[in-house]
Every structure is written in C-alpha cells, then in structure tokens.
C-alpha cells in the first residue's frame, strides 16, 4: 500500500509512524508512507499556501490551487483514494479502516488554521472526520487513520488471532484480560482463567464480551 500525506508538518507524520507496528509495517514493505511538505507547492517564494477568506472572517484558508497542484503531483491521474480531513466529514470507524486497508493507494490532505477552500472537495474522494470535536490540524486524524489501517494489512501483525478478537472486529468488544501478578493490592483474577480448561475459558470470555455498538 502506498500512502501520501500532504501537510504543513511532515515531521509529525514521520515521527509518529517511526515506532512499533506502523514502523514494522513500513520496514517489512507492507506499506510505504511519505509525508510531503505542502509549502513545496506554495504560490510564491515566501511559501504561502493559504489566504484570507472571501467575505471576511477570522483565520486563513488553504488555497484550492495549492491543494490541486499537490494532489496532482503525488497522485498523477488520480488513481489513489483521496481523503481530506475535516470535522464535518464522514465519521471514521473500524468499517472504514477495513475498507481503507484494502486500497492500493491513499492520499491524505491535512488542513490547518480555518480549514479548506470549499472547492478543494472537488479534488478529493471523501471528507473524513475522526470525531465530533475540532483539532488544530489534520495530522493527528491522519495518524489515527493510518495507524488503524496499517495493523489490518495481512502480515503486519505477528499474531493474526489478536486481530480476530479485537473490539469492533465483530459487533463485540474484546473480553477482559489479565496478566501477572495473580493478586495485586488484594484483588485477584477470575478463577476460571487458572483452571486450564480451554473450552470453559472460551465460554467465559464470550460471556464477558459486550455489544460494541451499544456501549
């Protein structure tokens, strides 16, 4: 999978994906993630990529000509699934993560300041939100999305069983898990887990899983 990220802060993307599973996904060749500095497509030598809103109002707006040039440069001919991050986009969830994990190529366009010129929507395939709140930029939402999709690519996780039982993989949450110490500050673990009866343990675990959609 090829992922390109268009951002004013490429170091945020590079840094955050250089650990643990996202790093392993890239090192093993399952995905290549490249963060591009949007100012590379600036309209002038001062690196300007945004401007004031027509009609007045606070803040700066990312220019459509800059966004179009950047998208065309990293995704010539528009073969990738292009996503722009926006608080009013489609709500990201595990189902969308699974859909994205099957794409050959993805491009993420991160907003900053007051957001995007509305005409940019014509150059992307989807507007996506990670939740009903406003963040300062599209980098953290992009990282959330990339992290959740990389772990779904076959071969990225060492133990595929861990995926199958994870919360949201079915409509059930994961069951409660415990590790050593057996007793901590007087609180023990459920006796069933010490019996070694795998069928009974599986039954108990199933009984502890709850509906993931009605939490």
Binding site for ligand SAM (CB under 6 A): 85-88, 110-112, 114-116, 129-131, 133-138, 141
Q: How far apart are the first and last CA of the chain?
A: 33
Nearer CB in complex with ligand SAM: 19/133: 133
**What's the min distance (Å) between Cβ of 88 and ligand SAM?**
6
**What's the min distance (Å) between Cβ of 8 and ligand SAM?**
10
**What's the min distance (Å) between Cβ of 66 and ligand SAM?**
14
**What's the min distance (Å) between Cβ of 215 and ligand SAM?**
20
Lateral strand order in the sheet of 81-91: 32-37, 2-7, 105-109, 81-91, 126-129
Among residues 116, 37, 131, 125, which one has the least CA distance to residue 83? 125
Taking only Cα atoms into account, the Rg of the chain, rounded to an integer number of angstroms, comes to: 21
Q: CA 62 from chain center: how many Å?
A: 22
Q: Say if CB 113 and CB 87 are below 8 A apart.
A: no
**What's the min distance (Å) between Cβ of 47 and ligand SAM?**
18
Nearer CB in complex with ligand SAM: 9/168: 9
User: How far is residue 211's CA from residue 175's CA, in Å, rounded to a whole number?
Assistant: 11
The residue sitting closest to ligand SAM, measured at its beta carbon, is 111
Sign of the CA dihedral with 148 first, then 150, 152, and 155 last: negative
Nearer CB in complex with ligand SAM: 129/167: 129
Nearer CB in complex with ligand SAM: 112/151: 112
**What's the min distance (Å) between Cβ of 65 and ligand SAM?**
17
Nearer CB in complex with ligand SAM: 86/148: 86
User: How far is residue 95's CA from residue 103's CA, in Å, rounded to a whole number?
Assistant: 13
Q: Say if CB 203 and CB 214 are below 8 A apart.
A: no
Nearer CB in complex with ligand SAM: 82/156: 82
Residue with tokens 């057996």: 182
């Amino acid at each position: 999978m090829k992922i390109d990220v268009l951002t004013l802060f490429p170091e945020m993307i590079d840094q955050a994906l250089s650990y643990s599973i996202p790093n392993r996904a890239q090192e093993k060749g399952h995905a290549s993630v490249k963060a591009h500095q949007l100012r590379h497509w600036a309209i002038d030598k001062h690196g300007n990529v945004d401007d004031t809103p027509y009609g007045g109002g606070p803040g700066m707006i990312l220019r459509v000509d800059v966004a179009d040039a950047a998208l065309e440069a990293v995704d010539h001919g528009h073969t990738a699934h292009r996503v722009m991050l926006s608080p009013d986009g489609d709500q990201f969830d595990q189902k969308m993560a699974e859909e994205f994990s099957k794409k050959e190529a993805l491009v993420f366009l991160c907003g900053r300041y007051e957001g995007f010129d509305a005409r940019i929507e014509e150059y992307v395939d989807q507007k996506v939100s990670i939740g009903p709140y406003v963040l300062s930029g599209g980098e953290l939402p992009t990282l959330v999305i990339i992290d959740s999709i990389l772990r779904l690519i076959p071969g990225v996780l060492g133990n595929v069983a861990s995926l199958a039982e994870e919360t949201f993989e079915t409509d059930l949450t994961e069951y409660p898990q415990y590790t050593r110490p057996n007793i901590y500050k007087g609180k023990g673990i459920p006796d069933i887990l010490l019996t070694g009866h795998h069928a009974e343990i599986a039954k108990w675990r199933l009984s502890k899983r709850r509906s993931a959609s009605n939490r």
